[in-house]
Structure 1
Amino acid sequence: MSFQGYLKTIKEKTGKTAEDFRKLAADKGYTRDGQLTVKAGDIVKWLKEDFELGHGHSMAIYALLKGKKTENDH
């Protein structure tokens, strides 16, 4: 699945955009000044519990929060 495919599926399942997840992560204290402050496992656990996302989809959000990917990546 392409990165865009992951983001599309995440939005369909949760109703949330990448920017929404950035805001939610900041609200939870997972980021500070736009920088991720927790490990991938913490993000995966959060997204699995709160949004029922699987590992791959959670890692896509992690990549966004970490700055490894952007909404424009394929």
Structure 2
Amino acid sequence: MSYQAYLDALEAKTGATPRQLLDLAAQRGYGPTTKAAEVVAWLKDDYGVGRGHAMAFYGVLKNGATISDAHVGSSGSHRDASTELHLDGVAARPGTSA
């Protein structure tokens, strides 16, 4: 599963875009220095999100929307189309009709 696919599945599970979840995290006082376990527990308790999807979100919380180019252009199941993650939701993604 690509990094973006994890975030898309997180949106489907929570009903909130990754950007909205970032806003909710900020309201809770979570940011780049927050421990992963706190974020994982919050997403599990409030939304029933599993560890893998929570850790994908935590990566965005900690490092922003730019990811390594290690999987961009690869042919494996973990490939991403770009180093930039789309945080405004599946419906707002370029090339997607809402």
What TM-score results when the alignment is normalised by the length of structure 2? 0.64
Please say if 1:7 is aligned against 2:7. yes
Select 1:56's aligned residue among 52, 56, 62. 52
CA distance in 1 between counterparts of 2:4 and 2:30 reads 23
CA RMSD for the aligned pairs? 1.5
> Sequence identity, in percent?
44
Q: CA deviation at 1:37?
A: 3.1
Q: Distance in 2 between matches of 1:37 and 1:24?
A: 16
Query: Distance in 2 between the 1:30 and 1:66 partners?
Result: 10
Deviations 1:10-46 (A, max 9, x none): 1111111111111001100112xxxx23100111001
Higher strand share: 1
Misfit runs of 4+, over 6 Å: none
Q: Which has the higher helix share?
A: 1
For residue 46 of structure 1, what is the aligned residue in structure 2?
42
Aligned length: 68
In 1, Cα distance between equivalents of 2:33 and 2:4: 25
**Structure exhibiting the larger radius of gyration computed from Cα positions:** 2
